[in-house]
Structure 1
Amino acid sequence: MTGAARHPSRPADLAFLGTGGHPDGLLAARFDTGGVVLAAEVVRADDGPRPLRAARCAALTGVPDDGSAHTRTVPGLGAYRVTALGADGIRVLAGLPQDDVRHTLGQFVRIGAAAAGTVLLLAGAGCALAVRRRLHPLGHLAATAAEVARTPLTPDRPAQPARIPAPDADPGTETGQIGAALNRMIDQVEAAHAARRRGEERVRRFIADAGRELRTPLASIAGYAELMNRAPGPGGADPAWRRTGTESARLTGLVENLLLLARLAEDRPAQTPTVDLAVLAAEAVRNARSTGPDHVWRLELPPEPTPLVTGDGPRLKQALSALPANARVHTPPGTRVTVTVGSTAGRPTVRVRDDGPGIPPALLPTVFDPFTRADPSRTRRGLAEGGSGLGPAVAPAIEAAHRGRLDARSEPGRTGFRIGLPAARQPRPPGPAVGYGSACSAQITLP
């Protein structure tokens, strides 16, 4: 303004720009009272002030001389921050470019954003590391809990459950409190399991002792009943003594089953030479037919010999005989009972099926538990026929001792039990299979 005031008579004079010391990109102009630019120049550091063309001057037209800063975009030069002043008829406009400022501010923003992102990234990594370090004991807790879940707690295979290490069970931390609580829970579970084992051991010992003590009086009662039945009399044998003999025989069978369950719970039976399941199944069907002539008995044998099994023959026979006997007791006369001998996936199997009324769904999960009895939906024919609830329990105990498996499925009109046993390593000797006989065909129906 001062330089322009030196030549008030020359309204287009911008000689003050040539004095030097002006920043690169400085824009100066003089305009009249109507805001029309009379002359405009821009300072270049390399060759001094340069005049602006008309298009660029038009962009500066209309800037009020109020001393305020205004933003104008000059074609080819970019955005400018301009200010117009007027005094004593002299009006001068000056402006500085904004591109350098904006570029500098953009760089500051980018640098600040990068720095902030780096700080946030480092802070996040540090927090994640700290959290993982604090929660690292939870991995030990989860691994220990999974190991405890896999630990067998069966009475025949007691095991020592794992514990949380002392550093991870420090009650001074939250995770340590969880570890200490988990250790206490494991201790309580182990103590309860040990108490259960001791209780079961006492029960087995009592059953074994009681069974052995009952054998002698039952044998005496059976002997006296048999003696009185054979005693000559005018009317033949007394029905009361016959009833006594029958009940003593039933009680003797009950005691023997109790003793067998107690022995099987303690150890496995001694392994004897190989056994042919077809022979045992045929004997089981023959015995069932002799005691249940009012049923239809059917034996199905495969065309080829079944694989042999290794085990205690008498006990396996008892397990196979218990299932047809159970079907005989709990089904009405005329029921068809089928015993099938075969092989499934290389494992010898025996299936016992009947077309009776079926096992109630509520009773099916506990059908192999001792002293389980069916409700009236499966006909029971009196205690003299058995029905103590030990027959189905003896069979799975014997199969488990031989590393076998017994399962049951039932629906009205079709009830089936399946016994699967591991095949013997010793192959069947050459020659005809023992027990099949020339009179046996693939299917035998015994009325």
Structure 2
Amino acid sequence: MPEDRYELEEKLRRKKMRGYVYAAFIIIIFYFLLKNSRSVSLAIDHLLAVIQPIFMGFAMAFLMNPIMTFLEIWLDKPFKKIWKNQQTAERASRLVSSIISLVILMGVVIYIIATVMPNLINTIVYLANHIDYQAAAVLDYCNYVTKGRFEDALMQAKQYKIGDLMEEGLNLLEEYIDYDESKMMTTITSSVLSIGKIFINLIIGAFVSIYVLLSKEVFKGQAKKLICGIFRPDYANIILEISRKSGDIFYGFIIGKMIDSIIIGITCYIGCLFMKMPYPILVSVIIGVTNIVPVFGPYIGAIPTVLIIFLTEPKKGIYFLIFILILQQIDGNLIGPKILGDSTGISSFWVVFAVVLGGGYFGFWGMVIAVPIVAIIYYITGKLARFLVIKRGFPEETEEYISLDHIDTENNVLVPYSQFHDQEKKARRRRFKIRKKSTK
């Protein structure tokens, strides 16, 4: 018996020592990262630049997978008739489906660029060349609306040309910036090389996406095998469950949000044609792209589009603002929930928190990806909290803790604030009665 007790104490001591070692190791790593934060940041940036085509390939495979799955089901029977060997038929079906899905994805992207970009460029050039005329028309409209009350101020404002003001600003900027033609050429050359590098990375990413889709089951099996080998069975089950949930959240949100944005962009374009709005393609593209960003996307897209239309035809700019507000309400309350459902499982506060945090660190795409990432963290935290409270014998429903005042340590139960408050009132009354009797 004493030997068993000695062994138990020895195990506890070793466990504590391991904990101290792990804690010291984590502190040392954290100190090293903090001390060399700039070098670590540069190393991470270099690593991300090197593996950029791999990221692109995975992103393309992520978008191609639903198309490939649909095509694979459709091509399954014909290929099995051609090849008697089932494995050969499945491989051929997967290869053809992957290639077709890549062609469809690239075709959609090229078609959008070929049809939309010329209109966008022409619209931007037209706006830049006629900005003074359009600004003057807006001032005349304001004078008409105000019935000439501010005519002198508005007419004085018409004398200032926006083009001249921009030229003066550039001249003023050149006085404070050291302008060097060699530096300018270097900047242009590096920009061209960067565009060329992105193009090459896209080509490499296309091949990577094919390889990923061809071997996606193998990759899944290898990852699961590694998890089952490293972790205990109960921990492995938790990791596998979290992985499946993470995939559902990412697919449900990203794919759903893209479909929702395409629908909103097309609806906006049809509405602009029906109301004869200027620049329908430009404003529809802006509205559709910015709609990908949760919460703030509609407002980000509405500001420039309303301003562009207002500069051209002020009255239609006001009508377009009303149209966008109605469209966003329909999207937020009808179209979005139907497509997305409850894919994230987080409240509006956490969506706003994710968008602000992701946008602050990673820009536009950070605002998009941060929502499913925060949803996954929220899900993991909820699972952990549920496991811990059940382990301590407490209820797992969150509603049970809303009115919690304290925990009764003797009976290990939760005491609500109202019940505790009532008990305190009764205790005070009893003490008051005892004092009253003692004074008599």
* TM-score above 0.5, yes or no: no
Give the alignment's TM-score, normalised by structure 1: 0.20
Relative to its length, the structure with more strand (as a share) is: 1
Whichever structure has more helix as a proportion of its residues is 2
Larger radius of gyration between Structure 1 and Structure 2: 1
Which has the bigger relative contact order, CA under 8 A and spacing at least 6?
2
